């Protein structure tokens, strides 16, 4: 594998490079977040070993930017912090695994082998369709280069549509997924939220992204 190690502790970075090289991997080193992003712009990696506590841009932000740019490379986070909140923050940022310092090199090597066995489609937590991107973990949505602030219901409807591209979703299906209970006037309620969502996404009726399927429901066109 070709691996990028992002670690500002020179001694640890050197040890990791030596150990991974002895395991027959090709290794590049980056000492901070900016350098890591520069490497990923020009290099194609099979895995990234990423320390959280970095000077400048920290590891969590590096991870978020890579996932926002749809970089699918599996990421193993390294950190000295072991609280549940820290682990959750790392995984929500888009990391695939988490290893607490100090660690045994054999465990790091085994975790990298496990990541290499995963199918690549599991590496992209950011949903995308046309110019719209949605990050379920951070609950953020972008249209082109602009971030859009969506109310909770519109966000959940859009996420549901984006998780089922090119599939017709009926109004009851959308209602059950978003509200989790039956309520009257389901057609009117869903239609109102879809209109508001289209307005936010600059996708006016009949919709190039969110299509109205007469007599059935709505369909998100993944090819838009």
Q: Which residue has the higher pLDDT, 118 or 125?
A: 118
Six-digit token string for 113: 């082998």
Please name which of 19, 125, 12 lies closest in space to residue 3, comparing C-alpha atoms: 19
In tens, the pLDDT along 164-202 reads 888 999 888 888 777 655 555 666 888 899 999 999 998
- Residue 135 — very low, low, confident or very high, per pLDDT cuts 50/70/90? confident
Q: Please give the angle made by the CA atoms of 33, 37 and 43, to the nearest 5 degrees.
A: 135
218 pLDDT higher than 50: yes
DSSP bridge pairs for 128: 133
Six-digit token string for 178: 């978003």
What pTM was estimated for this model as a whole? 0.60
pLDDT at site 125: 65
pLDDT at site 141: 92
Residues in Cβ contact with 12 at an 8 Å cutoff, skipping those fewer than 6 apart: none
- Chain centre to alpha carbon of residue 2: 22
- Residue 123 — very low, low, confident or very high, per pLDDT cuts 50/70/90? very low
pLDDT at site 214: 87
In tens, the pLDDT along 55-100 reads 999 999 999 999 888 788 899 999 887 778 888 888 888 899 999 9
CATH top-level class for 127-220?
mainly alpha
Six-digit token string for 111: 């975790």
Neighbours of 38 (CB within 10 A): 12
Average pLDDT over residues 118-131: 69
In tens, the pLDDT along 4-27 reads 999 999 999 999 999 999 987 889
Q: Which helix H or strand E contains 91, and what residues bound it? A: helix 84-92
In tens, the pLDDT along 27-54 reads 999 999 999 999 998 888 889 999 999 9
Integer CA distances (angstroms), 23 to 45, 108, 162, 173, in order:
16, 12, 40, 50
The DSSP symbol for 121 reads G
124 pLDDT higher than 60: no
142 pLDDT higher than 80: yes
Q: What pairing do the DSSP bridges indicate for beta strands 75-79 and 217-220?
A: unpaired
pLDDT at site 112: 92
pLDDT at site 34: 95
**Domain segments of the chain as ranges:** 2-123, 127-220
pLDDT at site 223: 64
Q: What pairing do the DSSP bridges indicate for beta strands 2-6 and 26-30?
A: parallel
Six-digit token string for 152: 């909770």
The CATH number corresponding to 2-123 among 3.40.50.2300, 3.40.50.300, 3.30.565.10, 1.10.3720.10 equals: 3.40.50.2300
């Amino acid at each position: 594998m070709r691996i990028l190690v992002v670690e500002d502790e020179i001694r640890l970075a050197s040890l990791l490079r030596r150990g991974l090289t002895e395991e027959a991997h090709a290794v590049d080193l980056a000492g901070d977040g900016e350098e890591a992003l520069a490497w990923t712009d020009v290099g194609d990696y099979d895995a990234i070993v990423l320390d959280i506590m970095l000077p400048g841009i920290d590891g969590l932000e590096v991870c978020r930017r890579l996932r926002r740019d749809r970089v699918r490379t599996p990421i193993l986070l390294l950190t000295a912090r072991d609280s549940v909140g820290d682990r959750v923050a790392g995984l929500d940022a888009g990391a695939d695994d988490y290893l607490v310092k100090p660690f045994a090199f054999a465990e790091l090597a085994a975790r990298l082998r496990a990541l290499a066995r995963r199918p690549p489609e599991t590496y992209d937590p950011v949903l995308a369709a046309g110019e719209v991107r949605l990050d379920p973990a951070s609950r953020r949505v972008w249209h082109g280069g602009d971030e859009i602030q969506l109310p909770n219901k519109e966000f959940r409807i859009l996420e549901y549509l984006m998780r089922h591209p090119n599939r017709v979703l009926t109004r009851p299906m959308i209602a059950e997924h978003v509200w989790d209970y039956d309520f009257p006037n389901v057609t009117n309620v869903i239609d109102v939220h879809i209109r508001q969502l289209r307005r936010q996404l600059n996708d006016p009726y009949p919709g190039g992204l969110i299509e109205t399927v007469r007599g059935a429901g709505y369909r998100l066109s993944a090819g838009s």
